[in-house]
Amino acid sequence: MKRDILIFPKFKNIDKLQEIRKQYDPLALILPPHITLVFPFSDNISNDELVSLVKDKIKNIVPFCVKFSNVLIDYDTYTKSNFIYLNCIDGNDTISFLHDTLYSIPTLSNHLNSKIAYKPHITLGYTDSINFELNDVFETIVDEIVIEEIGENDESIIIEKIPLK
Report the pLDDT value the prediction gives residue 129, as an integer from 0 to 100. 74
Q: Are 108 and 61 in contact (CB under 8 A)?
A: no
Let me know if residue 76 belongs to a domain. Answer: no
Report the pLDDT value the prediction gives residue 80, as an integer from 0 to 100. 80
**What domain count does the chain have?**
1
Let me know if residue 131 belongs to a domain. Answer: no
Spatial CB neighbours of 110, under 8 Å, sequence gap ≥ 6: 43
Cα 31-65-75 angle, rounded to 5 deg: 50
Q: Are 71 and 126 in contact (CB under 8 A)?
A: no
For the stretch 47-59, pLDDT in tens is 999 999 999 999 9
Output the domain CATH number for residue 8: 3.90.1140.10
Let me know if residue 57 belongs to a domain. Answer: yes
Q: Which residue ranges of the chain lie beneath pLDDT 70?
A: none
Let me know if residue 152 belongs to a domain. Answer: yes
Question: 22 is in which domain, residue-wise?
Answer: 2-67+91-124+136-163
Report the pLDDT value the prediction gives residue 51, as an integer from 0 to 100. 98
Report the pLDDT value the prediction gives residue 77, as an integer from 0 to 100. 79
pTM for the predicted model, two decimal places: 0.94
